[in-house]
Amino acid sequence: MTLLEIMRSASVIPVIAIDDPAHAVPLARALVAGGIRVLEVTLRTEHGLGAIRAMSEVEGAIVGVGTLTSPEEFVASRDAGAVFGVSPGLTPALIAAAKSSGLPLLPGVMTPSEVMAAREAGFRQVKLFPAMQAGGVGMLNAIRGPLSDMTFCPTGGITIETAPAFLACKNVACVGGSWLTPKDAIEAGDWAHITALAKAAAALRAS
């Protein structure tokens, strides 16, 4: 699958931070059971790569890596099973690492100049981050005119209540959100609750 195909197959991409390796597989299964197949596992904890490796074995899961901030992380993430990467921003070193590793990258952008820089580097899909602080829906609608060939995954501060307005933007393929994986539910092993949250998120696309 191309990066755009992955994005379009997801209404919401959950942003996942794993604190306990034992939670990785049941969490992935709970999300997939609710119709959320594209999973972004961040490298914010020491268990990120291990979680990617474990979740990649879950049937139906499309696992990517988030919070890529250094070139060395690209190959390690790809080898762990990640099929796409997400970064909070974009630098020349990250551009080079994405090209050399072959890992499709969804880079973070916040301003029109950053969108244009990403476009010049060959990217057509980007993450508006942090979405709410960057201007939200208004920003996305305004930038569509001059940069109509760019597709966005806004992430940062989005909720189940605000997600529909973002998904209604013609240049948005999906949104990123952490509300699908509440820490208390994960720690309690309440996988049924997470599946319910996933079902509600998956239904956003249909609505």
User: How far apart are alpha carbons 83 and 105 in whole angstroms?
Assistant: 9
Instruction: Return the C-alpha torsion angle 156, 136, 3, 193, nearest 10.
Output: 50
Which is the catalytic residue, given 5, 40, 46, 199? 40
| Beta-bridge partner residues of 43 | none
Question: Within 13 Å and on the Cβ side, how many CA atoms surround 149?
Answer: 7
CA-to-CA separations, 207 to 6, 163, 165, 202, 203, in angstroms, rounded: 19, 11, 11, 9, 6
User: How far apart are alpha carbons 7 and 152 in whole angstroms?
Assistant: 9
Known active-site residue 40: yes
User: How far apart are alpha carbons 171 and 169 in whole angstroms?
Assistant: 5
Burial 15-46 (b: 16+ CB within 10 A, else e): bbbbeeeebbeebbbbbbbbbbbbbbbbbebe
For 132, the token pair is: 């709410």
Which is the catalytic residue, given 59, 127, 183, 187? 127
Known active-site residue 120: no
Q: Which residues are catalytic?
A: 40, 127
